[in-house]
Amino acid sequence: MDTGFAITAYCYNDLGQLAYVIQPEAYKKMGSGEGSVSSFTENDAIFKELCFGYHYNNVGLVSEKHLPGAGWVRYVFDKNDKIILENDDQDAAANQNFYKFTKFDALNRPIYSGIINNIGSISRSQLQSDFDNFTGQTYETVSSSGLFGYTNVSFPSSYIPVEANGRMIMYYDDYAWQTDAAYNFQASKAFHAQGLAKGMTTGTIVRNLETNDWYRHVNYYDYKGRIIQQFSQNHLGGIDRIDYQYRFNGEVLKMRITHKRAGFADVVELYQYSYDHVGRKTSFTHNSKVVAKYNYDGIGRLQTKKFAPAGTALTSSQTGNWTDASTWQSGVLPTANDNVTINIGQTVTIPNGEIGSAGTLNDKGTLKNFGTLNMGKYNTSDLYSETFKYHIRGGLLGINLDNASNLTNSLFSFKLGYETEGFWDGNIGKQEWKSSLDNVSRSFTYGYDGASRIKSGIYLGNGTENYSLNNVNYDFNGNITNLSRNGYKSNNTFGLIDNLGYAYQTNSNKIQAVSDNSGETASFNDATGTTDYTYYLDGSLKSDANKGITLIEYNYLKLPNKVVQNGVTTLIQYDASGKKLKETIGTNFTDYSANKIYKNNVLYQIVHDEGRIIGGEYEYSIKDHWGI
């Protein structure tokens, strides 16, 4: 066999179905000459760690699939060929031994799911036989007296789930299931009238996988089938409500989020969006602040984005003092104590120590709204503006470049080079950037191997700065075997900080140990011993000695819910949809509720479309070409 090529072999059964995929490392180890692959069995170590495998049922559906290093995943189908049971080798382990299940209604919509742990050691084939021979109804119907508001008749009697097995319940078409008045439609808060929900998901009830509490979520629709009001019970003892207002064509004009938490004042946010004639978003406003404006080129690509654009006047319903000139936003008519009318767009100065008041007049001249104001400064320039340039194929070339596509002295600019190595395969050959911190241009120039895997990243920066990446090598499966990395050492000196070698388990993609021969300890912490990493039967990481992690545990969704690192335990709560709810590290904890993050019961930040609000200040995210 030519060792210069990474060869992947695909094997088919007599029916033309894909039976095995042999990865390049397995092909290299199993073959004795080019194109020659010796026989193997599914019990061979090479197959278990380096090959995919597929088994089919009598109608051609994959009933079992094998993943390299992760074992087998098994599926059981009902008579309508829907997957109703599923587990893998870790689920089937003696200390767990459960199947994930899903039940459906007559329209093949999933209605509830969870885990069944009373199956014991019954094989997948026996389970499939039991369901094939089942003569009862294969779907559930609405039942006010049934489990979760449904019947419980579509599984053989030996496998009927009980309440403790449920994890997530789905409801459709109406609100007969919803009996809590706190979640009833609030017409006075909605932007549109309520319509019918036939065919729609009207709500879900989701379990907290750690505390077993249930959380209710309800959706209400208008006559066009658009969600106009959502209620979500949070784990903090409150309810989050979101109201939506739409344009005639379905674009969201407004979104109002009302966050309630037991023992805390309500947090109300209003998101507003404007669009051009072809539906492209042109502005985003959060509460009374215009956060961003957007412009596009002639073929619809984003051309400029302005953060906190010029012309914004900040107002809020609270008392305060102001001495600088302010400009009122369009649509707000201010007056003074002596009833002097000030036209929209004019500038008004309030002396130090005075309190401004304002009301909005309707078309009959009567007072509509009244409140005291803390008037904000009129922005004479954008806080920050991004200008986007694109190459001939439409990919992003850079941000804040001049006419010659060079970096500029803006807050931040960057440029991507695609032809540095003389290739035109879409790989980024060079990345340059500059910030206003020192206006020094910095760059990485990348090298790739024949399989488009990065081999090096040569750094060029200020003076002796050196963060270069070198000597990156791989095995045939793409696993890194070694690399070296430069960085800051001490006393303004730069040099080699990592010289890493990667060792893998025999005939496996699983990394066993990483060694550092650089002699430096500031970057990579090289643990002693020959085994740095251990794994569960499904291939998920169990421990990492290099990071001091002695244990990682996962829930049935394969999400880590417990991490023990250097003697400190981190506990993570999720609901059954996979949403992260809470993280506890020692005595400190962080709660997540919609776009709010609390730290130790104090509101830490609010996430918005273009960044976050922290400490009452707006922060903006400058994103790269991946949107990160």
Looking at residue 346, its pLDDT comes to 43
Distance from C-alpha of 53 to C-alpha of 68, rounded to nearest angstrom: 9
Tracing tokens 């032809």 back to the chain, one arrives at: 419
Is residue 394 one of the residues assigned to a domain?
A: no
Residue-wise pLDDT for 28-80, tens only, equals 887 654 445 567 899 999 999 999 999 999 999 999 999 999 999 999 999 99
Looking at residue 32, its pLDDT comes to 56
Looking at residue 366, its pLDDT comes to 35
Looking at residue 520, its pLDDT comes to 83
Looking at residue 37, its pLDDT comes to 54
Is residue 26 one of the residues assigned to a domain?
A: yes
Domain count for the chain, please give it: 1
Q: DSSP string spanning 286-319?
A: ETTEEEEEEEE-TTS-EEEEEES-TT-----BS-
pTM score, whole prediction:
0.85
Is residue 17 one of the residues assigned to a domain?
A: yes
Is residue 209 one of the residues assigned to a domain?
A: no
Region for 117 from its dihedrals, namely left if φ exceeds 0, alpha if ψ lies in -120 to 50, beta otherwise: alpha
Q: For residue 79, give both structure tokens.
A: 């008579």
**pLDDT above 80 for 330:** no
Residue-wise pLDDT for 158-193, tens only, equals 899 999 999 999 999 999 999 999 999 999 999 999
Residue-wise pLDDT for 435-452, tens only, equals 999 999 999 999 999 899
278 or 5, greater pLDDT: 278
Is residue 180 one of the residues assigned to a domain?
A: no
Is residue 30 one of the residues assigned to a domain?
A: yes
**pLDDT above 70 for 469:** yes
Neighbour-count burial for 207-230, b at 16+ CB within 10 Å, e otherwise: bbbbeeebbbbbbbbbeeeebbbb
Name the residue range of residue 41's domain.
1-68
Low-confidence winner among 91-105, 285-299, 546-560, 584-598 (lowest mean pLDDT)? 91-105
Q: In this prediction, what percent of the chain has a pLDDT beyond 90? A: 75
Distance from C-alpha of 131 to C-alpha of 123, rounded to nearest angstrom: 13
Distance from C-alpha of 433 to C-alpha of 461, rounded to nearest angstrom: 10
Query: Which of 84-98, 117-131, 194-208, 410-424 is predicted most confidently?
Result: 194-208
Give the model's confidence band at 121: pLDDT under 50 very low, under 70 low, under 90 confident, else very high: confident
Is residue 128 one of the residues assigned to a domain?
A: no
